[in-house]
Structure 1
Amino acid sequence: MSQLSIRATTGAVEYPALVAIWRGAVDVTHDFLAGSDRDEIESKLESDYFPAVTLHVAERDGQPVGFSGVLDGNLEMLFVDAALRKGGIGTALLAHALSELGVSKVDVNEQNVSAAGFYLHRGFELFDRSETDEAGRPYPLLHLQLRG
C-alpha cells in the first residue's frame, strides 16, 4: 500500500471529490440521518461548510481518500472514503489536526457510536451534550474535548 500524505486542499476545484467522500462515509456511518437532512447538508457542503473551515485532504497515489475541516480549534468534520475505513486514515487526519492545527474539541453525533468511540479512544472526553445538531435538527451532539 502506498504512503498516505496530508495536505491543504487545492480549493473549490477539489470540492466534488470531497463531497463524494462525504456522501459515501455518511451513507455507511450515519444510518440515523433522514434522507432529506442528508441531502440538505450535502447541498451546502461546497457553498457553506467547506469554505468556512481549514480543509486538509488525505491522499494516496494522488487520490483523495479522506479529509478534515477545522475552525478555531474545533474539528468540524473528518470523513474517510467508506471503502477504506479502519485503515488508519482517520487516525492520521486526527493526529495532523491535533499537532498542526491545534484541535482540542470535536462534536460528534450521539447516534454515530463508532465515531464517538473513535474520539474517546484517542484522548477526548465528554464535556457537554446538545439535544439537537447546530441546525436544530433532532440529532443529539456529544461535545468532546481533549483530556488534560
Structure 2
Amino acid sequence: MTFPELTLRAFEPQDTDRLLDIWLSASRLGHPFLGDNILLAQRDIVRDVYLPGAENHVAVLDGQAVGFIGMMDCFIGGLFVDPAHHGHGIGRALVDYVSQQRPMLELDVYADNKLAPDFYRKLGFHEVSRRPHDDEGLPFEVILMRRG
C-alpha cells in the first residue's frame, strides 16, 4: 500500500528529535538483541554523527516524519520507518527515491534482524558477504547486501 500524500524531502535540523524517536522505536523492534543500553548509546551517535554527516531524506505523511534514509555515497547507512507505519511502502519509497540517482546501492544489516534481510531481498538486494562483528566491534554478525 502506498500513500498519495507521502512526500519525501531533505532532512532539516528540526527533524532531529522525531527522527531519533523513529530510530529508537524501529531499532528496538529490529535489534532487540542489542539491548537498551547499547541502543541508547547508539542513539547519541546517530544524533551527533550520522544525522549531521549523512545525506538524509525524510518521508513525511500528514505533516509528520514517519521514516528516513541516510546515505553515504551509494551506501545506505540507515533506513528506519516508524513501526506504526511498517508494511505500507514507506521504506520501499525511500529506497526507490535514493536509487534514482545511484545505479548501485549497498548496505549492512544485522543477521539477527528478523525483518530487514527479507525486506531488502524483496527490493532486489542480494548478500555479498558476512562479517562476525558490527562496526563497534560487538559480536553481532553483519550482512553486506547490494543491489545493482
Same fold (TM over 0.5): yes
Instruction: Establish whether residue 73 from structure 1 lines up as the match of residue 59 from structure 2.
Output: no
Cα 1:103–1:6, aligned 2, differ >3 Å: closer, same or farther?
A: farther
| Structure 2: segments with no counterpart, 5+ residues | none
Instruction: Establish whether residue 123 from structure 1 lines up as the match of residue 144 from structure 2.
Output: no
Instruction: Establish whether residue 49 from structure 1 lines up as the match of residue 59 from structure 2.
Output: no
Contact 1:75 1:97 in 2 (8 A): no
Counterpart mapping for 1:99-114 below 5 A:
99-114=100-115
TM-score (norm 1): 0.92
Contact 1:65 1:84 in 2 (8 A): yes
Give the letter aligned to residue 7 of structure 2.
S
Give the letter aligned to residue 5 of structure 2.
Q
| Structure 1: segments with no counterpart, 5+ residues | none
Contact 1:2 1:61 in 2 (8 A): no
3-state SS, counterpart of residue 128 of structure 1: strand
Please state how far the C-alpha of 1:82 moved relative to its aligned partner: 1.1
What is the root-mean-square deviation in Å for CA atoms of aligned residues? 1.4
TM-score (norm 2): 0.92
In 2, Cα distance between the equivalents of 1:138 and 1:25? 21
Report percent identity of matched pairs. 31
Please state how far the C-alpha of 1:102 moved relative to its aligned partner: 4.9
Contact 2:28 2:36 in 1 (8 A): no
Please state how far the C-alpha of 1:75 moved relative to its aligned partner: 0.5
